[in-house]
Structure formats: C-alpha cells, structure tokens
Amino acid sequence: MAESRPLGVPAAGLVLLVGVSGSGKSTFAARHFTPTEVVSSDTCRALVADDAEDQSATPDAFDLLQHLVGIRLRRGLLTVVDATNVQPDARAQLVALARGHDLLVDAIVLKVPARVAVDRHRASGRTFGRTPVERIVERHDRDLRRSLRGLRREGFRRVHVLDGVEEVEAATVVRERSWNDRRELTGPFDIVGDVHGCASELRTLLERLGWELERDDAGRAVGARHPEGRTAVFVGDLVDRGPDTPGVLRLVSGMVAAGTALCVAGNHEDKLVRALRGRQVKVAHGLEESLAQLAEEPEEFRERMTAFMDGLVAHYVLDEGRLVVAHAGLKEAYHGRSSRRVRAFALYGDTTGETDEFGLPVRYPWAQDYRGSATVVYGHTPVPTAEWVNGTICLDTGVVFGGALTALRYPERELVDVPAEREWYAPARPLAPMVPEREPGALAAADVLGTRWLDTTFGPRVKVPEENAAAALEVMSRFAVDPRWLVHLPPTMAPVATSSRDGYLEHPDEAFEEYACAGITTVVCEEKHMGSRAVAVLARDAATAERRFGVTDGSTGQVVTRTGRAFFPGDLGRRLVASLTEAAAPLFERLDTDWIVLDAELLPWSAKAGELIREQYAAVGAAASVALPAAQEVLDAALARGLDAPALTALADRTRRRTHAAAAFRDAYRSYVRPTDGLDGVTVAPFAVLAGEGEAYAATRSHRWHLEQVAAIHGHPLVTPTRHRFVDLADAGARGAAAQWWLDLTAAGGEGMVVKPADDVPVPGDGRRVQPGVKVRGREYLRIIYGPDYLDALDVLRNRHLGRKRDLALKEHGLGLDALARFVAGDPLWEVHQRVFAVLALESEPVDPRL
Amino acid sequence: MLLTVSTTHRPATDLGYLLFKHPDRVQEFEQSFGSATVFYPEATEERCTAALVLDIDPVRLVRSRPRGTPDFSLAQYVNDRPYAASSLLAVAIRRVFSTARSGRCDARPELAATPIPLEVRLPAVPCRPGGEAGRDLLRRIFEPLGWEVEAHDVPLDETLPGWGPSRYLDLTLSGEVVLADALNQLHVLLPALDQAKHYWEAPDEVDKLLRSGGDWLAAHPERDLITRRYLGRRRALAREALTRLDELDGRPGAETTDGEQQEEQAPAWRPLHQLRREAVLDVLDELAAAGATSVVDLGCGGGQLLADVLARPAYAVVAGADVSAVGVLATQRRLRIDERSLRRTPDRQAEALRARISVFQASVTYTDERFAGYDAAVLMEVVEHLDPERLPALERVVFGEARPGAVVVTTPNADYNVRYPDLTGFRHPDHRFEWTRAEFAAWCDGVAARTGYTVERRWVGEVDPELGAPTQLGVFRRG
C-alpha cells in the first residue's frame, strides 16, 4: 500500500491534471476539489457541441475552457483543468494564462498503465468516434512519456507525479496560501514608513506609538511589544543612507521573529542582499554606508541579517483583503499575486524605464488611477507629507533627508510622526509630492457610467442600471454644483402604509404600528415643513473649504436641492451660505468642527417651486374656479326648469362637491406660498447635522441627538424650528395624543409629519430593513399630490404599491450615509461621488433607448 | 368641463332636432375617461341652450392610462383635464354629436345647412400664454370663421393678483354659423388651442383633420398655425397635412416654409450657426493639411458638424460626444450609425462606418479615456453652458488629460450683444456666462500657459470694428 502523499497546490492559482484518457482525472478532481473549481474539457466540449465526445469540437471547446480559466484566474480563484494536458502546446497556453494573471501553476500527473485506462473505457462504454480506444490511449501515453522529461522546465512551480493507480488513490491535496496572503491578520497595525538606518528616530516613534522596547545586555534594542497587542508593519527600506542600519535591522528582525511585526522588502534590502552575497552591484544611493556599518558587525550578525532581508516577502495582503502593504505600492490587479513583475512593481514601483534629470527612475503615478477597494500603504518615494490619494498613502516622509519618520495607525487612520534628528543624507532631488498638482476634483466617466453595483455599509447592495446612470450624467454635468461640495444627496422618503380609516389615505397609526412591530420603543414625530429639501454644506472659511473640500475659488459652501442644484444663483447663493454659516456658528462650537453638513428644508415652497406652483397647481385651480361654477349654473337652471333625472341630480351633487374640493385645493397650495424677494422671506429649517470633522453624525447619532443640536441655533432669524414630539410606542395615550397633534398641525395648513426612530442609530450591515423614516401627510395637503377630488377616489388610491418606493428609500438612505462616512474618512472624491451619483441615478427617469 | 351651445333662431327648440338630442331629456354617454351628459338648461321658443358636461375623474384617468401615454399631464393626479376645454372635450363632441357634425338632419334638412344665430360658451379654454396674447390668438382663429369673440381673463389666483392672468380664457363665441360647421371647428380647434392630446398621433390623424377641417380649414388665413398646433409633435404629419390642404385649396403645393428657410431667403445672408460651422471646418481643413486625421467633437449636439467632417476623407476617424443620452441616440440615427441601421448595412460597409465614426455619451467635466488620442478636438459653443467653476474641470479633462493635438473653441462674444437690440440677458437661456473679448482672451491665454498649448484667436461672422464679431474662436495647438 502506497503511503499518502499530501500534494501542496496554490490556494489561488492554476492546477493542471495531466494524464491519458481514462487515467482517472475527473474522479481525482471530484474527490479533491469543488465542482466549480474544476474546468473540464469534456464539459466544454458538451457545452459547445451538445456531445462530450465530439472530437471535432475540440478547438472551440478549448477556446471556451481558456476563457473560463482566464476569468477565474483574473478573479484570483483556484482553478483545476481537467483535460489530458499530455501535449506540450496545450500546457504552454494554460501556463501562459496563469502567468498572465501573475498566479502560480502546478501540475499533477496521473501515471496509470495504459491497460488500466483502456479497461476503464471498456467498462464505461465510452467511445471516440471510429478510432479504437486502444489507439487513443496509446497515443496519449506516448505523448505523456515524452512530456515527463521536460515537464519541470515548462514553468510549473511544482510537478507532482502520482505513479500508479495506488498512489493516485492514496493522494491527498493541501491548499497552500501564498506567502503574501496574511488576510487572517486583522491588526490593529502600526505601519511605519521608510526608516533608512535612522534607528534613533525609529525607537522614538515606536515609543510614541506606545511600544515597549526590549533591550539586550548591551542595551541595544532587539525587539518591541505593544501592550495592546498591536502589530507593526514596515514598508521596507530599513537600510542604507542613515547612521545605524545594523541597529534598525537588529530591532526589526527581532520584532518579526517575535511575531510583533511584519516587514516587506524594499528595493534597498534587495540590493544590499545582492551586495552582501558578493554580487556585482553599483555602490550608490547610500549602500556604501550600510556596507561600512555592517562590516563592523560580527560575521554571524551579518549572515543572520542577510538571511532576514533575503526572506522578506514583497507585499502583504492583510485584514481580510482590506489592507495591502508594499514598499512601492501595488496596483489592484497585483494584490495577492506572485510573479517577477509583481515583485518588481512592489519593490521599484511602476517605472517607465526612463530616468529624470537627477538620474532617478521616472515612475508612473499609479495611485492616481487606483480604483481598488483595498487600502494600499507604501513608501519608496519621499514626499513632504503623507497624503491620501484614492485610498492609497505613501508614508515615506524622508526621515533620512531631514524630514520625518511617519507611521499610520490602522484601522484608525491616524498619522503619527517623529521629526528627523538631523539631515543624515543629502537628497538627490528636492522632496516633491508623489502626485504632482493632484486635482482633487478629478472624476472619471468610468467611475459613474454603465451598470454598477455598489455595496453600502448601512443599506442593501444597490444596482444602478446603465440607463439611469446615463440620465444622471446629464443632470450632474449640466445642473449640479461642483461635485466637491456634493458630499450627500437626501434619499427619498417612503410614505406610511396606507390607512384604511374612513376619509384618510395616510394616518399616524400605521407609522406607529410599523415601528412598534420593528421593535422600536420610542419614535419622534417631526413636523414636515412644506418647502424644498436642502442640503447645506458649510465651511467656516475659505481655508477650510480648500483644506477639506479642495475648493480653491474662495467659496465656502453650497446649499443644494435634492438633485444637487444650487438653490440660488451666484451672489444670492453665496449670501445664503454666508448667512447660514453665521447662523450655524453655535453648532461649529458645540461639535468642535470647522465644517458641517445640514439636512434641512428651505422655506417657503414658493421660493424655489414658484414656477411649478403657478404652472401646475394654480393653473388647475384657476381652470376649476371658472369651469365648475359655470357647470353648476347650467345644472341648477336645468333642475329649476323641472328636468328630472337621477343622473342630473347626481351630477349636480358631484359638481357641488368638486367646487368645494377645488377651493380646498387652492387653500392647500396657498399656505405654502409666501412672497420672497431674493433671500428676504427665505428661512431654513434644519433637522439633522449630517456630518462634521471626524464624524458622520447621520450614521452615528440618534434623531434625538440631532434635534438637540439644531435647537442650539433656533434663535437665529434665518432658522425656522422644527416642531416635534417623542412618542413612547407602548403608551396608547401618547400615540393618540401624537395623532391629535398631527391632526391639529395639518388642519392649520401643515404638510404633515415625519416619524423616525428616536434613539436608534443605523447599524452597519443591518438587514432588518427598517425604514429610516416615514412621512404621514395631511388630508388637505394630499390634494396637491393626488388631486382636489382624491377623497372621492380613496378606494382606487389605497391600492398604491409602496414596495418600490420603500425599497428605493432604503437604498438611497444607505448610499447617502455611505457617501458622508466616506467623505468624513477622507476617501477619494470619486468614491464619495459614486454614491451621490447613484442617489441621483436612482431618482432619474431612465433614458428609454426607444425614444 | 362644460360646453354650451345656444340659439335664438325661432323656434329655438329646433336645436334639439339639429343635435339629435331631445330638449326635455337628459342623456348620458360613457367615455373611457369619464361620462358626458347632455341636457338643456333652457328650452323656449326664443332661446334654447344645450349643455355638454364632461365629468372626468383624474384619479381613474391616471390609473387607467396605458404605458407611454403622450400627454404628461395625464400622468399627474393634479391636472386641468376635468376643467379645461381640451382634446377630451373634442373627442366627446365627436362622439356625442356625430350625426349633427355630419350635417344630416332628417327633420329639418334645410335648417341643418343654414347659418343660424349661435352662441357657444367655453368657460376655460387653454390658450397659452393667456391674457391679451391669448385673446389675440382666439380672434385670429375664430373671427375668419364668422364668429364674434368675447374672451375674459381667468386670473391665476385672485388672492395673488401679482401672478396675473392664467393661460385660460373664458370664451363666448357668437355668430351666424351652420351648426355642423361650428361643431367641426370646435373639434379641430380645441386640441389645437390646447396643444396637448391625450392619445398618440397616428398617421390617420391627418385624415381626421381633413375630415373635420377640410373645407373651412383650407381657406383659413391661420391654416398653417392651426395645422401645426393640431399635429403638434409630429412635424412630418404637419407637412403632409399642409400639402393635402394645398390641393384642396387649389394652391400649388410645397409652399410650406419653416421659419428658418424664410430667414435664409436673402442669398448673401447665412445664419450664424452656419458661419460658425464653416469657420470650424476651415480650421479643421488647415489641421488636416498639417497632418491631422482624427477629430472628436465634444458637445456634438445634433451632429451637423460631424456630418460635414465625414465628407472630408482626410479625417479617417471622427467621433462625437454629448452629455445628452437621448441626443446621442438621435444623432446616431441621423448619421445612420445606430445599431439598428448598422444591422441593416452590409458587413464591410458597417465595419468601415464603425471604424470611422462613433458617437457616445460623455461629459467634458469627467475624465474620459475615450477622449484620448485625437489629433483635433472641437468645443463649439460648449464652454458657455458650463458653470464657471466647472471650467477648471473641463480644462483638466480636455487640455490636461485627453491632450489632442489641437483644440478649436468657439463661444459668443458678449461685447457684440449690444448689436442685438431685442436681446435681454444671454443669447440662450442655458448660457451660464458670455465672455467679452478680454475675458475670452484671458481664459485662452491661461489655459494655453497652464497646459502647454499655444493659442490663436479668430472671429466668426461679420466683424464690427468696435465690437469684434458675434462669435469668437480660439485654436489651441499642443506645444
């Protein structure tokens, strides 16, 4: 009995099964891999020809197989090719495919006597057209024997040969993760930039970060431990140029050995190792310092450090794939991959092969194009200050050139730095930002066009259909304000479930019931102002606007509509921002922030919707005001002359009712019309503070908190307070009182109210699908929505499919919160914009291609 | 909505015979959009009035509308259909008074063919923009048909007098007219005044128009206006109808004129948009002579410039981009490069078209790799449609990132606007600014300096020695 041999295969990569037809590859694959991991030539042949044995379909089948394998490899999935793979060119194409995706490829050879394979075919009844089975198997066997000699030189990482049926039967497979795959480590991490032999600054920095140094008998730092169990990650370039390369290596290698640190290789380690191994290298860029310093160390130390540096991995994928550390950064397609070019990118960056006027290699600013979801932390290129660019950050702040040694606390995203004690080495060129003249407002059509799926932290996954995105691009480009101000768009709000109460389409009872059923104990009822929804983005001054929003034209904010347009053009808009910023001053104080985003209603409705009111509502009212009395007159005359028909009486009654309804309708819109002149007469009713520096309050605070905050600015003449009351849902009396409050409010011309959970805050990943708020609109107000006579058609209107609206409300709410949270976290503009754009797209009528 | 028709012809109750509706009865007719009731509020020897009351339930109208209903207002719960005299009333007239409209009257055949004193009242006739202009339109339309027009303003909201009159007029027509003619006129003229039909216009719409309007419409001085308004959205239908009306009227056909053609009658005078296109094409020809073979028109609109460039073989690759998705589809169709047209084109030809011309949706404020690699780019009357604070984004996207070999920019010259005495504000309602010569020069020089281009400025149109030309043009060449 053969011994079980565990075969190591790459956990992400390609495995070729090699063996004659009938050698048991499919059985082997089924035993050791999941069905989706296996791509079989027989299956592909069946897919393209309806017949797994149709040999004439082989070229097409192989095309399909390569396509499938290519897609899986691009996505980084383990893929097993179940085909004979006995011919070198078939293997070569698949090896090249894996290489093209920078993944490893193994071969497993199933060497089974030809006679066994033939017998198996006989038993299964499988045929190959008119060719006898023996001939086929014989040919495969010949090809295989010829292949075996050179197989190891074909580019496989490993070739496992299973000799004989017993070995095949007994084999076991283990998946080996790549060295760079440490996604199980979730931190927290302290990621340290290029040290370059600055041992003293490194020790100071570690202590500032709360690390406790361990020293040997000679007092040299040989390790460090963080009391909170943090892990240090070094981005490479520990060595060269600086005063104490051995000291840095001693400390970092000690930390790595003790498991308190990880370290990736830098280009300087790469070269130093080659120099120490006696290879021919040009001694420049500070290598001479390292060689001189190490020459004074004992031979044993030198060897240990050489081995340490030689064993460094080029990049790490950490924290479930959310964090990538590489010395010179890494583009998304290379994350977790292994190949020479991936290593070269990680060590040297995206070099173009040219050198600049200082003799340094020209690097392509890959971070500018980066659109990946993982945070990439790197060093390599000295920059004056560490800055986020599209979710990537360079921590090399040039300590050895007299700059600073910088660390990033992750996931906190805090930067901690220690200034250089002196300039240890003169730079070849002045420190320059990695991305020169970065345009913070840079957005790309590819960020928003086409069908897109967006994951949101606080809501469901959202699909933005292509045709909606097309419509939104036009609105966004033609009408919306500068996207740098557009950090949020308000979501649509679902109405309350339809009431079956006589004479009502909407009533507070259903709102209370909905939230009680969802396990909410207290809700807040907020007066719904009849105005225009507004988002106010306010910076304390132009400097804040530039620092936080990247806006440099001197403007300090924007007040935008639901579709991202400015409420007022030019100077009026600037004056509104200025007055609102002044009004909100107490909020800036309370929240210790120099910018805020307010969710509000701008009043009166007529200020922005004057045209709509006149064209749509007043015009209908005007037509009714002449048509109905005229009809009434002739009906009365007909009845007076004695015409007697039930139809006539009924029509007269209906016309009378309509006359009243039309009058009520005109009263309804009139209550939202107030004369305004420019900003005179305009007020703002804020009801939430969506975000400020360091916190997206919309995602972290309750509505009770929000109302407490905005109460701080209620004295200002520009601010209209939002009346509200809290309702304990367990208290029937409180519910009844709130319903009465709503009746009074709406009887006095109010639009209605919004009911929201009072104390709950959004929970990330919460699948409960509780509406963030529902609106309960007044009976009279609804005439504006459903028409003057809607109360006569409640039977029809009650059937008003709210599902889509409720679904949309949840999605847009999730997108809106995500946009704010990302903006607060300092994520790149395009990521914030994608979410804001998606809200607009979901609200846009899709462009019908048939138009 | 209400229509009353009264007569003082004696005996006035003969109106009942003419309308085929008995004066002492109340008759109801169910329509898909509500019910129509006909009755007589007065019926004496001296004066008889027939009333048609159309009772429309807008909620049911919205709920029952089929997908893609053309009239937007019908998709709204709040709409004027229950009150105003609209195409719905025209349909009710056609159905309820179909016999009367045909002029047939077995009981009073002579009377049916005789003009009789009639008074027609429609309390809310939609007639944009209302007020004096609306009244004027009503007179132009009804007076040639023998009516005396009395029309009162309906205020938009009497509690808000500042808002002025609404688009509705309270209309009373009086005159000696054949009743069948009166009904046919209303059938055509109410939808023409309303300019919103509740149903799609099928090709047989022209036949309907000719049936109701044939005789009197052909000779009406405002015939073109009425036909165009009646067939509103479908210009092809309007042309067909006018040609056929010409035949009825014994006039030679093809006298149909678009406003634009009229303006072009003076041979030396060409409209500015044409001069602009020619100026840009001149630049493109110069660039082609210097080796340019590809061009992208950013903000290509309807694709007029693209069509002209396609006629120049020097340009082997031609592209158009526009922010309007609907506009892009229309332009693709016009250039016959939409998927449907290409499917009907022979393979090789389709391949050649695909390789040479493409039109796609894009925005000049979003970086777009599809803009890259062209020898020339055109921004014809585009910049002034962007808010000034978005111009740096355009500069980055076009000059900084796409970096074509040359960029041609045209924009209005605000200095020249004093030459348009009627102009208030900007030349187009969507213009966000219009630059003076100095402002345009400053922008051009700034962009050129920042992005490594050189710029040359030219005039388009007649040059005024004081003010320059109506349009200014800049040619940027990559340094």
Please check whether residue B174 is in contact with residue B146, taking contact to mean a CB–CB distance below 8 angstroms.
no
Alpha helices in A151-286 (DSSP H): 165-170, 199-208, 245-258, 267-276
Residue B168 to residue A626, Cβ atoms within 8 A:
yes
* Residue ranges of chain A whose pLDDT lies below 70: 1-5, 129, 353, 355-361, 429-441, 765-768, 846-851
**Which residues in chain A are contacts of B1 at CB distance < 8 A?**
627, 631
Report which secondary-structure segment, H or E, holds A599.
strand A595-603
Residue B325 to residue A641, Cβ atoms within 8 A:
no
Of A622, A643, A796, nearest to B156 by CB-CB distance is A622
Q: Using DSSP, state whether A501 is helix, strand or coil.
A: coil
* CB of B324 less than 8 A from some CB of A: yes
Point out which residues pair with A8 in neighbouring strands. A174
**Which residues in chain B are contacts of A665 at CB distance < 8 A?**
78
Please check whether residue A582 is in contact with residue A539, taking contact to mean a CB–CB distance below 8 angstroms.
no
Residue A470 to residue B393, Cβ atoms within 8 A:
no
Residue A474 to residue B366, Cβ atoms within 8 A:
no
Task: State how far residue B210 is from chain A, nearest Cα, in angstroms.
Answer: 28
Of B37, B170, B363, nearest to A626 by CB-CB distance is B170
What's the one-letter identity of residue A84? T
What are the angstrom distances between the C-alpha of A412 and each of A229, A316, A384, A694, B474? Answer: 15, 19, 22, 11, 50
Instruction: Look at residue A438 in the predicted model and tell me its pLDDT.
Output: 44
Chain-centroid distance of CA A809 in Å reads: 20
Of A627, A655, A793, nearest to B84 by CB-CB distance is A627
pLDDT tens sequence across A709-744: 999 999 899 999 999 999 999 999 999 999 999 999
Residue A510 CB partners (closer than 8 Å, separation 6+): A496, A497, A498, A499, A776
Report which secondary-structure segment, H or E, holds A579.
helix A570-583
* CB of B124 less than 8 A from some CB of A: yes
Strands (DSSP E) contained in A720-760 are: 724-728, 752-757
Provide φ and ψ at A568, rounded to 5°: -130, 145
CB interface of A with B, residues 430-459, below 8 Å = 439, 441-449
What's the one-letter identity of residue B404? P
What is the C-alpha separation between B46 and B10, in angstroms, rounded? 6
Burial status of residue A161 (CB atoms within 10 A of its CB: 0-12, 13-18, 19 or more):
middle
What is the C-alpha separation between A752 and B342, in angstroms, rounded? 54
What is the C-alpha separation between A500 and A502, in angstroms, rounded? 6
Residue A670 to residue B155, Cβ atoms within 8 A:
no
Task: State how far residue A417 is from chain B, nearest Cα, in angstroms.
Answer: 34
A interface test, pick of B1, B3, B39 with most A CB neighbours within 10 Å: B39
Task: State how far residue A622 is from chain B, nearest Cα, in angstroms.
Answer: 5
**Which residues in chain A are contacts of B158 at CB distance < 8 A?**
625
Q: Which CATH superfamily is domain A181-419 in?
A: Metallo-dependent phosphatases (3.60.21.10)
DSSP string, B45-109: SS-EEEEEEEEE-HHHHHHHPPTT-S-GGGG-SS-STTTS--HHHHHHHHHHTHHHHHT--SSSH
Instruction: Look at residue A347 in the predicted model and tell me its pLDDT.
Output: 92
Residue B387 to residue A445, Cβ atoms within 8 A:
no
B interface test, pick of A626, A667, A782 with most B CB neighbours within 10 Å: A626
pLDDT tens sequence across A190-211: 999 999 999 999 999 999 999 9
CB interface of A with B, residues 638-657, below 8 Å = 638, 641, 643, 645, 647-648, 651, 654-655
* CB of A481 less than 8 A from some CB of B: yes
Instruction: Look at residue B308 in the predicted model and tell me its pLDDT.
Output: 94
**Residue in A closest to B384 by C-alpha:** A478
Task: State how far residue B173 is from chain A, nearest Cα, in angstroms.
Answer: 16
pLDDT tens sequence across B386-408: 999 899 999 999 999 999 999 99
Percent of all residues in chain A with a pLDDT value above 90, rounded to a whole number: 64
Provide φ and ψ at A768, rounded to 5°: -70, -20
**The two structure tokens encoding residue A826:** 């300092």
Establish whether domains B2-200 and B272-478 are of one fold.
Answer: no
DSSP string, B111-138: HHTS-EEEEEEEEEEE-TT-HHHHHHHH
Please check whether residue B37 is in contact with residue B52, taking contact to mean a CB–CB distance below 8 angstroms.
yes
Burial status of residue A749 (CB atoms within 10 A of its CB: 0-12, 13-18, 19 or more):
middle
* CB of B157 less than 8 A from some CB of A: yes
**Which residues in chain B are contacts of A633 at CB distance < 8 A?**
41
Residue B157 to residue A618, Cβ atoms within 8 A:
yes
Residue A473 to residue B78, Cβ atoms within 8 A:
no
Please check whether residue A523 is in contact with residue A531, taking contact to mean a CB–CB distance below 8 angstroms.
no
HSE at residue A400, side-chain half, CA atoms within 13 A, is 28
Q: How many CB pairs under 8 A join A and B?
A: 199
CATH assignment of B272-478, among 3.40.50.2300, 3.40.50.150, 1.10.1740.110, 3.40.980.20? 3.40.50.150
Report which secondary-structure segment, H or E, holds A212.
strand A212-215
What is the C-alpha separation between B48 and B24, in angstroms, rounded? 11
* Residue ranges of chain B whose pLDDT lies below 50: 67-73, 252-267
Instruction: Look at residue B198 in the predicted model and tell me its pLDDT.
Output: 54
Task: State how far residue A793 is from chain B, nearest Cα, in angstroms.
Answer: 7
Instruction: Look at residue B453 in the predicted model and tell me its pLDDT.
Output: 96
**Which residues in chain A are contacts of B80 at CB distance < 8 A?**
619-620, 623-624
**Which residues in chain B are contacts of A474 at CB distance < 8 A?**
323-325, 363
Of A553, A625, A784, nearest to B78 by CB-CB distance is A784
Task: Specify whether the backbone of A734 is left (phi greater than 0), alpha (psi in -120 to 50) or beta.
Answer: alpha
**Residue in B closest to A669 by C-alpha:** B157
Residue A666 to residue B157, Cβ atoms within 8 A:
yes
* CB of A635 less than 8 A from some CB of B: yes
Angle, in degrees to the nearest 10, between helices A619-640 and A646-670? 150
| CA angle at A408 for the pair A697 and A376, rounded to the nearest 5° | 90
Of A445, A788, A851, nearest to B368 by CB-CB distance is A445
Instruction: Look at residue A851 in the predicted model and tell me its pLDDT.
Output: 38
Q: B130: closest CA among B159, B82, B163, B160?
A: B163
**The two structure tokens encoding residue A390:** 């599209």
Of A477, A637, A789, nearest to B42 by CB-CB distance is A637
Instruction: Look at residue B350 in the predicted model and tell me its pLDDT.
Output: 86
Please check whether residue A526 is in contact with residue A722, taking contact to mean a CB–CB distance below 8 angstroms.
yes
What are the angstrom distances between the C-alpha of B289 and each of B81, B282, B285? Answer: 61, 11, 6
Instruction: Look at residue A428 in the predicted model and tell me its pLDDT.
Output: 72
Burial status of residue B347 (CB atoms within 10 A of its CB: 0-12, 13-18, 19 or more):
exposed
Strands (DSSP E) contained in B178-326 are: 294-298, 317-322
Tell me yes or no: is domain A6-176 CATH 2.60.40.10.
no
Of A443, A470, A626, nearest to B123 by CB-CB distance is A626
Residue B82 to residue A553, Cβ atoms within 8 A:
no
ipTM (interface predicted TM):
0.82
3-state helix, strand, coil in chain B (%, to 5): 45, 25, 35
Instruction: Look at residue B38 in the predicted model and tell me its pLDDT.
Output: 94
Task: State how far residue B458 is from chain A, nearest Cα, in angstroms.
Answer: 28
Instruction: Look at residue A678 in the predicted model and tell me its pLDDT.
Output: 85
The number of beta carbons lying within 10 Å of the beta carbon of residue B120 is: 20
Tell me yes or no: is domain B2-200 CATH 3.30.1610.20.
yes
**The two structure tokens encoding residue A30:** 């089924």
* CB of A789 less than 8 A from some CB of B: yes
What is the C-alpha separation between A572 and B153, in angstroms, rounded? 35
* CB of A784 less than 8 A from some CB of B: yes
- Sequence ranges of the domains in chain B: 2-200, 272-478
HSE at residue A112, side-chain half, CA atoms within 13 A, is 25
Residue A445 to residue B366, Cβ atoms within 8 A:
yes
What are the angstrom distances between the C-alpha of B369 and each of A196, A443, A689, B378? Answer: 39, 12, 38, 16
**Which residues in chain B are contacts of A570 at CB distance < 8 A?**
none
What is the C-alpha separation between A504 and A509, in angstroms, rounded? 11
What is the C-alpha separation between B174 and B164, in angstroms, rounded? 27
DSSP string, A394-425: E---BGGGTSEEEEEEETTTEEEEEE-SS--S
Residue A787 to residue B79, Cβ atoms within 8 A:
yes
Q: What are the strands of the beta sheet with A104-111, ordered from one edge?
A: A38-40, A79-82, A13-18, A104-111, A159-163
Say which residue the tokens 């005039």 belong to.
Answer: B459
Task: State how far residue B43 is from chain A, nearest Cα, in angstroms.
Answer: 9
Residue B39 to residue A619, Cβ atoms within 8 A:
no
Instruction: Look at residue A573 in the predicted model and tell me its pLDDT.
Output: 93
